């Protein structure tokens, strides 16, 4: 998209220079929900024609050869062009849903540390340092829930050979240099056989420069027994995100997080708070028509659960995305974040109730025109 805010020229986004997401069928250097798909289709029509679908991505990993050469995908043409758009300051492949760009539009000031600016100055598009520092393990979609915003059925990977091959390829190509590993964003690390076994048998010698493992889960399987079985990785798992999408039991179990158990989630959350092990915890909430009225309830829930914990808890509200697994009409009905949605004005009434809270971060800030103040509690 063509951006009008001149402050973007001063924005520094380090993600495409250090992040590498490895999914079950593709790779990315940034979260795909923040890409401008129309702009990508305009510039890469042939690539999109090869892989038709409502949510295609450049950087396809569809063969054994692709998996054995992930380094080529890390530095493919689109990823080079994306990095160049960051250096040029046009950010044409990025939408306002990106939290960094959202911050610029809302506060009219650029983001990015001095260290990041200096680091990017040293890099060229072909990368003097060709290896990613942060790798996302997103290549197993196995999950114990079937949230409608993500999928239409339960997914259990019964053939682990491809995932194991991908893991071996990552170890060989990036194991010696990676500093941070994130698991997952397309499944659950405690339900996935591949990721659960990897954590339970974690071998630090394969990752000599690794500093942190970040887990993204729904929290339903985070029990004392499960956590205890991963003791080899405990020193590296200092941050975790739980996706919840509801503030009440009825919405959670019957609408947004199908197959999930609210009472078990609350029990696991109490255990999580009691550990005082984690430096940072994030609880995410995908905003949609059926749950937007529970945003304030959700913030209060997290605040009350962790107000005495030594772990720092935050809440993230993000807009529902069209991943192509549901019909367009289904998505349009649920996407209350769209200004054209008939109930969008009701969402705008709810947002000021939560965006001022010190626990909250969000990629919905651009939807409201009145300034808000980020409080720290």
pLDDT in the model for residue 214: 98
pLDDT for res 370? 42
Residue with tokens 């020229």: 9
Instruction: Measure Cα distances from 206 to 75, 172, 175, 210 in Å.
Output: 23, 9, 6, 9
pTM: 0.88
pLDDT (0 to 100) of residue 191 = 98
What is the predicted pLDDT for the residue at 127? 54
* Longest CA pairwise span in the chain (Å): 55
For the chain, domain boundaries: 248-377
Instruction: Return the beta strands (E) in 157-296 as ranges.
Output: 180-183, 212-217, 239-243, 280-287
Q: Rounded CA gap, 265 and 270, in Å?
A: 9
User: What integer pLDDT is reported at residue 213 of this predicted model?
Assistant: 98
Q: Are 94 and 36 in contact (CB under 8 A)?
A: yes
| Residues paired with residue 217 on neighbouring β-strands, in sequence order | 242
- ∠ Cα 222 149 271 (to 5°): 15
Element (H, E) at 300: helix 295-306
Instruction: Write out the chain's pLDDT in tens, 377 residues.
Output: 666 656 677 777 888 888 999 988 888 888 877 888 888 888 888 777 776 654 545 566 666 677 778 888 888 888 888 888 888 888 899 887 787 777 777 666 655 665 666 666 666 554 555 688 999 999 999 999 999 999 999 999 988 888 898 999 999 999 999 999 999 888 999 999 999 999 999 999 999 999 999 999 999 999 999 999 999 999 999 999 999 999 999 999 999 999 999 999 999 999 999 999 999 999 999 999 999 999 999 999 999 999 999 999 999 999 998 888 899 999 999 999 999 999 999 999 999 999 888 899 887 877 875 433 332 22
- Distance separating alpha carbons of residues 68 and 347, to the nearest angstrom: 46
- Report pLDDT for 373: 35
pLDDT for res 37: 83
Residue 371: what pLDDT?
38
Q: Is 348 exposed, middle or buried (0-12, 13-18, 19+ CB in 10 A)?
A: middle
């Amino acid at each position: 998209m063509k951006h009008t805010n001149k402050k973007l020229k001063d924005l520094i986004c380090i993600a495409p220079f250090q992040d590498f997401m490895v999914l079950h069928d593709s790779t990315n250097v940034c979260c795909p929900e923040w890409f401008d798909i129309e702009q990508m289709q305009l510039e890469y029509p042939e690539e999109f024609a090869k892989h038709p679908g409502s949510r295609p991505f450049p950087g396809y990993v569809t063969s054994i050869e692709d998996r054995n050469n992930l380094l080529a995908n890390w530095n493919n043409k689109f990823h080079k062009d994306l990095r160049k758009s960051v250096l040029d300051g046009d950010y044409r492949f990025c939408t306002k849903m990106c939290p960094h760009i959202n911050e610029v539009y809302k506060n009219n000031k650029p983001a990015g540390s001095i260290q990041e600016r200096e680091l990017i100055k040293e890099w060229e598009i072909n990368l003097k340092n060709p290896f990613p520092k942060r790798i996302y393990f997103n290549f197993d979609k196995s999950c114990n829930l079937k949230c409608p915003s993500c999928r239409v059925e339960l997914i259990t990977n019964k053939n682990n050979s491809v995932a194991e091959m991908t893991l071996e390829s990552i170890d060989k190509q990036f194991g010696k240099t990676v500093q941070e590993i994130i698991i997952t964003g397309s499944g659950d690390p405690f339900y996935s056989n591949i990721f659960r076994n990897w954590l339970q048998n974690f071998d630090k010698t394969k990752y000599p420069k690794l500093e942190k493992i970040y887990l993204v889960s729904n929290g339903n399987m985070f029990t004392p027994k499960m956590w205890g079985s991963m003791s080899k990785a405990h020193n590296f798992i200092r941050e975790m995100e739980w996706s919840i999408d509801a503030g009440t039991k009825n919405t959670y179990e019957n609408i947004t997080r199908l197959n999930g158990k609210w009472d078990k989630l609350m029990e696991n959350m109490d255990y999580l708070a009691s550990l005082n092990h984690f430096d940072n915890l994030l609880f995410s909430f995908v905003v949609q028509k059926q749950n937007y009225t529970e945003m304030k309830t959700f913030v209060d829930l997290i605040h009350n659960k962790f107000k005495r914990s030594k772990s720092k808890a935050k809440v993230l509200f993000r807009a529902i995305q069209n991943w192509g697994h549901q019909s367009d009409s289904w998505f349009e009905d649920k996407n209350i974040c769209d200004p054209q949605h008939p109930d969008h004005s009701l969402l705008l009434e709810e947002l000021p109730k939560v965006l001022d809270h010190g626990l909250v971060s969000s990629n919905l800030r651009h939807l409201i025109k009145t300034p808000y103040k980020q409080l720290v509690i």
